A = this chain, B = another copy of it.
């Protein structure tokens, strides 16, 4: 890994696991195994690294959601696949919730640059789901409902420290499919 990647992968791990405020720049430098000067050469501040973390995490997450549609020929099958992705993620991360919303929670001001970034990525998730579901013949309203059920599922799993919210949300998403679709 080049130095920039080493810093970023350390940031991804620490910001997600510990939170942004709890992760000091010294820990980031130490665990990247680089000289302080090298660190600042790539990221001028913790804020810059925080923004890069959001970009990276969102890019990866959107790619995972997009891949959940690969080879799926019905909205029903895509929903099942989306919730499989979500369940793997929730279990792997021990119900840590959504990294983007966790970050947003630390930036209270609705006008902050960090929250604007989170908003941009949540908008991108909504758009992705609308496009993918449209290709499978499902309406934008349905895509938005699934989008919110995914948000509720991941928040719920994090709140209850359990998988039942993921399964309950999936059941709801399937029940919301129009009749003709759900009979396929």
Q: Which of A's residues lie within 8 Å of B, judged by CB?
A: 17-19, 21-22, 94-98, 100-102, 104-106, 108, 110, 115, 118-119, 122-123, 126, 141, 144-145, 147-153, 155-156, 158-161, 164-165, 168-169, 171-172, 175-176
Copies of this chain present: 2
A147 to B156, CA, bound (A): 9
> Is A118 a contact of B148 with CB atoms below 8 Å?
no
> Is A19 a contact of B21 with CB atoms below 8 Å?
yes
> Is A110 a contact of B96 with CB atoms below 8 Å?
yes
> Is A119 a contact of B21 with CB atoms below 8 Å?
no
> Is B151 a contact of A21 with CB atoms below 8 Å?
no
The majority secondary structure among interface residues of chain A is helix
With A110-B94, A165-B148, A176-B172: A160-B122 Cβ-Cβ less than 8 Å = yes
The 8 closest A-B pairs by CB, nearest first: A152-B152, A148-B152, A122-B159, A21-B21, A102-B105, A105-B105, A151-B152, A145-B172
A8 to B169, CA, bound (A): 35
> Is A159 a contact of B119 with CB atoms below 8 Å?
yes
With A22-B21, A149-B149: A119-B160 Cβ-Cβ less than 8 Å = yes
Shortest beta-carbon distance from A47 to chain B in Å: 14
> Is B141 a contact of A148 with CB atoms below 8 Å?
no
A107 to B97, CA, bound (A): 11
> Is A104 a contact of B159 with CB atoms below 8 Å?
yes
> Is B145 a contact of A151 with CB atoms below 8 Å?
no
> Is A21 a contact of B159 with CB atoms below 8 Å?
no
A148 to B152, CA, bound (A): 5
> Is A19 a contact of B108 with CB atoms below 8 Å?
yes
Shortest beta-carbon distance from A70 to chain B in Å: 25
A47 to B145, CA, bound (A): 37
